[in-house]
């Protein structure tokens, strides 16, 4: 047990400054003089990615084996709070087994645009789901005594510009959509820490955004835990501290330790602010130190849990003529590289080494399925392989049913870059098209973390979307295909017909100023309200059985509305239904979506069974954020039990007394006049809504540490950027051509992620994410080179950098 007050008293200013940053990526700093140890923290968020003890490689290197749970795209589709809690407990157990005190997750950013490369790691386009599931995951982990770090706070909704982009959001969308997902997690999940995002939010880096950190998080929500930076997200260290950022990660930036000391000495930074931040670090170290290791990682029972989550998160998107489930007595032609090389987890910082892995092929074999297999395409290529392709066509001619395994690989979607198209890889589409031309029955089993253009599905009979199902994905696919389990996942995001339908999609990441012009009309809130047809709506998902809903009742108490209904399984298979409760709020003075998800419950029923389901909606969740505050608009509220965001099954309304409120004129003019006016919104109009003219992001010379390196136009700058890209590309090619080994695939994927990520960084973000390998001084030397000031660079190189040493 650490006596935080006592240690705080004993620490010197230098030691305090050191404690405010991490060490060697995954540790806090220790101060042996006062008996303060360090703790270990690491990724998250769908399982533990722990660097192996003793591995000398910087950053990640070799990682321990751990359970690869389904990524949030799958667990989000389960709509099952209990499973997320259990997943949290299991992750907490593995953390304790490996001596990890804090795990970096959950990740709950809103899926604003389907092309965001990191959508797989997030739960939903809807803040209620993201908040509810994120809360349970947090609770589960924290209940095991392990800390969490809910991330990325806030508005980190693209990858291309994540290091320097500015997410420009109006107040209403900020509160009702983007912050809303975090709020219950903070208030009910009580995470040990919050990780601030890389990007700017309304002009200021999240890591030094007073309104976001001190304002919303601490003042409004009463958060008392620690705020850490994302890896390399610090910009101005002292400003960050003043604005509520406590811990810099990954740390080892001598310059930033020194500026803290200097700022205290000059009086720019008060001792009180410093001590508050140090105290928060001491508190998580104290918690971590008290944590007793457990002797068993329980990996086999966790594998069962991972399977359960993937069974519940798989979404049956199409089932023409009840093509599924399949009969095990028949023989099938199985096609697609993903049968053997299943995509089961995301890519980037969440990529881990699974303890157990069951591919669909292994599952089919272990259950004795009668099949013939053709690879068809290479999962790591977008190009057609003529011989693989024609081998399928030759065999397909002689069979009735083809099970096609396809989807997106880590080269199509990953942390670190955004997708450029909604389409599946062309080699898979070509193959599907040619098989379809033979008129055979096709069952498409899909892996991938986000929506794809499904126009091809007219030619397939069934689509089973596994998303990224984790280590037991193959077993789950088998059980769902052959009716051993019944799909019950519901899409936590809209699947549009095409990217052209995505509001302001053509502007996504085109400039580093990301104007969130759609405001609160994100995902289904846009499509349903503005009458835009979609391919598969939010909340949609089929089952092998049918459900009937009846007897809807609404009961109003002082603080909550309880809506109940009876759900009956009217088919002949055990299954689960989700009661999705949407509310259409009055729109007298304020523009609102036609309906918004306000509650959900999942219910499990045997054939013929009926259960009454209650969905409780706190009245405060019916409020909207207008004119600087939360207001409940008076009027009639329509409560709708839906099968998805477009289909109302039962509805009734009640009147609720609240305030008489009005939108600002500009909000009504932009959002209340129909789709054409909405989509015609200019930058200037949006800026008027925001209340300031947003300057174009201009690259000025001399460049500074925050200039995106890809924008360098000088000879020195182009040389530097070219060299960097060359080095990272070479590492990738080296890993790709290395001899086969158990780790090869992971290494290749990580190298690809590194290469893609680096292309979107600035010298500041590279330096501050580098664990001290690129010191602040060296970053400035390189900057001099980029500014063609070679002599300056040389002079700087030989000038010693003043920075305090780490305590022993």
Residues catalogued as catalytic: 230
Least distance (Å) between residue 768 CB and ligand BGC? 11
Residues 89, 418: Cα–Cα separation, whole Å: 32
Binding characters for ligand BGC, 139-178, by CB under 6 A (x = yes):
------------x---------------------------
Give, to the nearest 10 degrees, the angle between helix 254-266 and helix 271-290: 140
Of the residues 349, 375, 519, 707, which one makes contact with ligand BGC according to CB under 6 A = 349
CA dihedral 47, 49, 50, 55 (to 10 degrees): 160
The string over 729-767, giving b where at least 16 C-beta atoms fall within 10 Å of a residue's C-beta and e elsewhere, is bebbeebeeeeeeeeeebbbbbbbbbbbbbbbbbbbbbb
Is 43 near ligand BGC (CB under 6 A)? yes
Is 71 near ligand BGC (CB under 6 A)? no
Q: Which is nearer to ligand BGC, 231 or 404 (CB)?
A: 231
Q: Which residue has the tokens 């077993």?
A: 475
Cα distances from 15 to residues 36, 453, 747, in angstroms, run: 11, 54, 37
3-state secondary structure of 644: strand
The DSSP secondary structure of 97-122, one letter per residue, reads HHT--EEE--B-----STT-TTGGGS
Of the residues 40, 223, 231, 547, which one makes contact with ligand BGC according to CB under 6 A = 231
Q: Which is nearer to ligand BGC, 137 or 379 (CB)?
A: 137
Least distance (Å) between residue 233 CB and ligand BGC? 8
What phi, psi does 304 have (nearest 5°)? -65, -40
Residue 205's beta-bridge partner residues? 200
Q: Which is nearer to ligand BGC, 228 or 408 (CB)?
A: 228
Q: Which is nearer to ligand BGC, 151 or 287 (CB)?
A: 151
Binding characters for ligand BGC, 77-116, by CB under 6 A (x = yes):
---------------------------x------------
Q: Which is nearer to ligand BGC, 231 or 582 (CB)?
A: 231
Least distance (Å) between residue 769 CB and ligand BGC? 7
Least distance (Å) between residue 206 CB and ligand BGC? 12
Q: Which is nearer to ligand BGC, 63 or 512 (CB)?
A: 63
Cα distances from 737 to residues 216, 727, 766, in angstroms, run: 49, 15, 27
Binding characters for ligand BGC, 302-341, by CB under 6 A (x = yes):
----------------------------------------
Is 230 near ligand BGC (CB under 6 A)? yes
What is residue 424's DSSP assignment? Answer: P
Q: Which is nearer to ligand BGC, 252 or 479 (CB)?
A: 252
Residue 201's beta-bridge partner residues? 167, 204
Least distance (Å) between residue 210 CB and ligand BGC? 22
Q: Which is nearer to ligand BGC, 104 or 146 (CB)?
A: 104
**Which residues 670-699 are close enough to bind ligand BGC by CB under 6 A?**
none
- 616 CB-contact burial (10 Å; exposed 0-12 / middle 13-18 / buried 19+): middle
Least distance (Å) between residue 546 CB and ligand BGC? 41
Residues 439, 320: Cα–Cα separation, whole Å: 14
> How many residues bind ligand BGC, per CB under 6 A?
7
Q: Which is nearer to ligand BGC, 149 or 476 (CB)?
A: 149
Residues 517, 495: Cα–Cα separation, whole Å: 20
Residues 308, 299: Cα–Cα separation, whole Å: 14
The DSSP secondary structure of 539-568, one letter per residue, reads T--B-SS-EEEEEEEEEE-SSEEEEEEEEE
Least distance (Å) between residue 757 CB and ligand BGC? 7
Q: Which is nearer to ligand BGC, 569 or 750 (CB)?
A: 750
The DSSP secondary structure of 153-216, one letter per residue, reads ETT---STTTTT-EEE--HHHIIIIITTTTHHIIIII--SEEEEPSSEETTEEGGG-HIIIIII
CA dihedral 324, 328, 333, 337 (to 10 degrees): 80
Residues 202, 169: Cα–Cα separation, whole Å: 6
The string over 220-250, giving b where at least 16 C-beta atoms fall within 10 Å of a residue's C-beta and e elsewhere, is ebebebbbbbbbbbbbebbbbbbbbbbbbbb
Q: Which is nearer to ligand BGC, 309 or 761 (CB)?
A: 761
The DSSP secondary structure of 214-237, one letter per residue, reads IIIIIIIT---SEEEE-TT--SSH
Q: Name the token pair of 279.
A: 């105290």
Q: Which is nearer to ligand BGC, 147 or 407 (CB)?
A: 147
What phi, psi does 573 have (nearest 5°)? -130, 140
First to last CA, the chain: 20
Is 374 near ligand BGC (CB under 6 A)? no
Residue 403's beta-bridge partner residues? 334, 443
* CA diameter of the chain: 83
Least distance (Å) between residue 40 CB and ligand BGC? 13
Q: How many CB atoms lie within 10 A of CB 393?
A: 15
The answer to whether the CB of 233 falls within 8 A of the CB of 164 is: no
The DSSP element (H or E) to which 403 belongs, if any, is strand 401-407
Q: Which residues bind ligand BGC (CB under 6 A)?
A: 43-44, 104, 151, 230-231, 349
């Amino acid at each position: 047990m650490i006596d935080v007050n006592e240690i705080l008293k004993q620490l010197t200013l230098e030691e305090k400054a050191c404690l405010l940053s991490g060490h060697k990526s995954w540790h806090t700093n220790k101060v042996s003089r006062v008996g303060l140890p360090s703790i270990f923290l690491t990724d998250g968020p769908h399982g533990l990615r722990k660097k192996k003890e003793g591995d000398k490689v910087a950053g990640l290197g070799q990682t321990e084996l751990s359970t690869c749970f389904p990524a949030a795209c799958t667990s989000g589709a389960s709509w099952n709070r209990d499973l997320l809690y259990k997943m949290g407990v299991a992750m907490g157990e593995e953390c304790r087994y490996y001596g990890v005190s804090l795990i970096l997750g959950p990740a709950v950013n809103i899926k604003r645009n389907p092309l965001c490369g990191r959508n797989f790691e997030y739960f939903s386009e809807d803040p209620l789901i993201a908040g509810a599931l994120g809360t349970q995951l947090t609770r589960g982990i924290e209940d095991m005594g392990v800390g969490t770090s809910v991330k990325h706070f806030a508005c980190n909704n693209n990858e291309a510009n994540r290091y320097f982009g500015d997410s420009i959001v109006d107040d209403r969308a900020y509160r009702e959509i983007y912050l809303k997902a975090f709020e219950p997690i903070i208030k009910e999940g009580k995470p040990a820490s919050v990780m601030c995002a890389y990007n700017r939010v309304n002009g200021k880096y999240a890591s030094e955004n007073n309104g976001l950190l001190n304002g919303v998080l601490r003042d409004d929500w009463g958060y008392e835990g620690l705020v850490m930076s994302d890896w390399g997200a610090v910009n101005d260290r002292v400003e960050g501290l003043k604005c509520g950022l406590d811990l810099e990660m990954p740390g080892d930036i001598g310059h930033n330790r020194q500026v803290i000391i200097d700022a205290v000495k000059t009086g720019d930074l008060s001792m009180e602010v410093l001590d508050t931040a140090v105290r928060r670090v001491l508190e998580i170290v104290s918690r971590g130190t008290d944590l007793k290791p457990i002797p068993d990682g329980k990996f086999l029972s966790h594998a069962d849990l991972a399977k359960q989550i993937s069974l519940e998160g798989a979404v049956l998107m199409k089932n023409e003529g009840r093509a599924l489930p399949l009969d095990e007595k028949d023989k099938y032609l199985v096609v697609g590289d993903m049968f053997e090389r299943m995509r089961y987890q995301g890519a980037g910082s969440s990529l881990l080494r699974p303890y157990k892995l069951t591919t669909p092929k292994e599952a089919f074999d272990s259950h004795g399925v009668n099949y013939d297999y053709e690879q068809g395409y290479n999962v790591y290529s977008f190009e057609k392989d003529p011989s693989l392709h024609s081998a399928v066509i030759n065999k397909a001619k002689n069979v009735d049913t083809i099970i096609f395994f396809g989807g997106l690989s880590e080269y199509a979607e990953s942390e670190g870059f955004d997708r450029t198209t909604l389409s599946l890889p062309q080699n898979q589409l070509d193959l599907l098209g040619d098989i379809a031309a033979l008129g055979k029955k096709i069952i498409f089993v899909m892996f991938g973390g986000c929506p794809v253009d499904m126009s091809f599905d007219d030619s397939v009979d069934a689509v089973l979307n596994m998303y990224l199902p984790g280590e037991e994905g193959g077993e789950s696919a088998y059980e769902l295909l052959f009716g051993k389990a019944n799909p019950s996942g519901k899409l936590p995001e809209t699947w549009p017909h095409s990217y052209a339908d995505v509001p302001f999609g053509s502007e996504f990441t085109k400039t580093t100023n990301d104007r969130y012009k759609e405001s609160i009309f994100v995902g289904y809130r846009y499509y349903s309200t503005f009458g835009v047809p979609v391919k598969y709506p939010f909340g949609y998902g089929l089952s092998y059985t049918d459900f009937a809903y009846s007897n809807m009742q609404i009961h109003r108490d002082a603080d909550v509305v309880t809506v109940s209904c009876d759900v009956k399984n009217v088919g002949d298979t055990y299954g689960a239904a989700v009661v999705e409760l949407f509310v259409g709020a009055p729109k007298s003075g304020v523009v609102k979506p036609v309906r918004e998800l306000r509650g959900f419950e999942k219910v499990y029923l045997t054939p013929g069974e009926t259960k009454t389901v209650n969905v409780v909606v706190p009245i405060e969740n019916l409020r909207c954020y207008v004119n600087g505050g939360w207001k409940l608009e008076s009027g009639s509220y329509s409560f709708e039990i839906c099968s998805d965001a477009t289909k109302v099954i039962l509805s009734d309304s009640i009147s609720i007394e609240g305030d008489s409120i009005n939108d600002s004129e500009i909000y009504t003019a932009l959002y209340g006049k129909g789709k054409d006016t909405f989509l015609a919104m200019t930058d200037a109009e949006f800026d008027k809504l925001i209340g300031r003219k947003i300057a174009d992001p201009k690259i000025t010379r001399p460049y500074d540490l925050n200039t995106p390196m890809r924008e360098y136009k000088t000879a020195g700058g182009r040389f530097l950027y070219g060299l960097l890209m060359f080095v990272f590309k070479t590492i990738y090619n080296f890993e790709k051509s290395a001899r086969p080994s158990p780790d090869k695939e992971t290494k290749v994927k990580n190298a690809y992620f590194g290469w893609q990520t680096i292309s979107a960084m600035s010298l500041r973000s590279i330096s501050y994410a580098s664990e001290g390998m690129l010191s602040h001084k060296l970053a400035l030397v390189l900057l001099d080179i980029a500014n063609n000031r070679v002599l300056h660079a040389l002079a700087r190189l030989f000038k010693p950098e003043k920075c305090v040493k780490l305590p022993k």
